[in-house]
Amino acid sequence: MMRVLFAAPDALWPEWAPALTALAPEMELVREADPASIDAIIFAPGGPVSDLSPFVNARLVQSLWAGVERIVTNPTLTQPLARMVDPGLARGMAEYCTGWALRAHLGMDRYAQDGVWRNALTPRLAEGRQVTILGMGELGRSVAAMLRGIGFRIAGFSASGRAVQGAEITTDLSRALSRAEILISLLPDTPQTRGLLDADRLALLPQGAWLINPGRGTVLDDDALLAALDGGRLGHAVLDVFRTEPLPPGHPFWSHPGVTVTPHIAAETRVSTAAPVAVENLRRAMAGRPVLHLVDRGRGY
């Protein structure tokens, strides 16, 4: 019997607890216990545990979210940390990015319902459009696969340079940006990515490019984005993530005609597809086998 602490917000317990215990009857899932008796921790930000140092026997901290920036920087974290790679989350992200990429590609906003017959405004086929994805991890590969299925030409920026089927991968950020008619940012929040899309880098994008950011709000320089939109360099920005969430009502993104705000809904962890991932990792940790999706502390993800 493994004892697992559910260190996540109370609101998550009613849905997660039945799913986890049904999949792993050998697990005792608890919300509080002697820290020394805990074999593993299921964690989400906002829960009851911030000091992980008493959990000296815990073999794994399994995050419920894909983003781990709010835990990987915790100085009390000494246990192995795994991020959530949920197939349902990846599918949701791919659908979100595909929907907005098609809106950009087809020019759906050009057809005002004002009685004017604009039949000269016909879009190119997808094969004539370059989509560039920043960040080619699990989410980036899922997005690339769906967009490639429609016919888009796919390029990807990846620090590792690891090959991805059907995509041209580069480690040269300037090259990646200079060809991005539609730019999708799926980069994590790390010291290296914060403020990465600043004025100089946004200026590298082709005239009229669209930016879709469902990754992390810290990657983007907000003022630089607004200046690029006002100056006509960018055609539109679709933003799902922000430096402050919820986005304050007075923030200029809400009222800018070149910005579409969505409220951090691009991809959600779904219990039905994520619980089996968590259980598999818990079993691996208890058996001393390699854990899936282990976080590299040095890289921050």
What are the pLDDT digits (tens) for 8-19? 999 999 999 999
Q: Is residue 293 situated within a structural domain?
A: no
The neighbouring-strand residues paired with 28 are 3
- Active-site residue, 216 included: yes
216 and 226 belong to one structural domain: yes
Q: Is residue 292 situated within a structural domain?
A: no
Cβ(44)–Cβ(63) under 8 Å?
A: yes
Average pLDDT across each block of 10 residues of the chain; the chain has 301 residues. List them in order: 97 98 97 98 96 98 94 96 95 98 95 92 93 96 98 96 95 97 97 97 98 98 98 97 97 98 95 97 98 91 88
Number of domains forming the structure of the chain: 2
42 and 146 belong to one structural domain: no
22 and 74 belong to one structural domain: yes
Catalytic residue from among 70, 264, 283, 284: 264
Q: Is residue 301 situated within a structural domain?
A: no
Q: Is residue 146 situated within a structural domain?
A: yes
Kindly provide the b/e burial profile for residues 113-130, where b requires at least 16 CB atoms within 10 angstroms of the residue's own CB.
eeeeeeeeeeeeebeebb
165 and 228 belong to one structural domain: yes
Catalytic residue from among 59, 141, 179, 216: 216
136 and 28 belong to one structural domain: no
Report DSSP state, residue 197.
B
- Active-site residue, 264 included: yes
11 and 62 belong to one structural domain: yes
131 and 231 belong to one structural domain: yes
Which residue range(s) make up the domain with 21?
2-86+269-287
Torsion-angle region of residue 195: left (phi > 0), alpha (psi -120 to 50) or beta? left
Q: What is the mean pLDDT of the chain?
A: 96
96 and 231 belong to one structural domain: yes
pLDDT value of residue 120: 87
Q: Half-sphere exposure of residue 262, counting CA atoms within 13 Å on the CB side?
A: 16
Residues 6+ apart with CB under 8 A from 16: 6, 8, 42, 64, 271, 275
CATH number at residue 168: 3.40.50.720
